[in-house]
Structure 1
Amino acid sequence: METTAREFNQKSSQVLAAAARGETVTVTKNGVAVARVVPISEDDIPPHPTDPMGEIDLPDLGLPDLTDDEIEETHKRMGT
Structure 2
Amino acid sequence: MIFQLDENLWFPDPHDGEPDGLIAIGGDLSIDRLLLAYYYGIFPWYSFRHAAEPYWYCPLQRFVIFPDEIHVS
Please indicate the TM-score interval, normalised by the length of the shorter structure: 0.3 to 0.5
> Which has the higher relative contact order, 1 or 2, with Cα contacts under 8 A spaced 6 or more apart?
2
Q: TM-score, length-normalised on structure 2?
A: 0.36
Q: Which has the higher helix share?
A: 1
Q: Which has the higher strand share?
A: 2
TM-score where L is the length of structure 1: 0.34
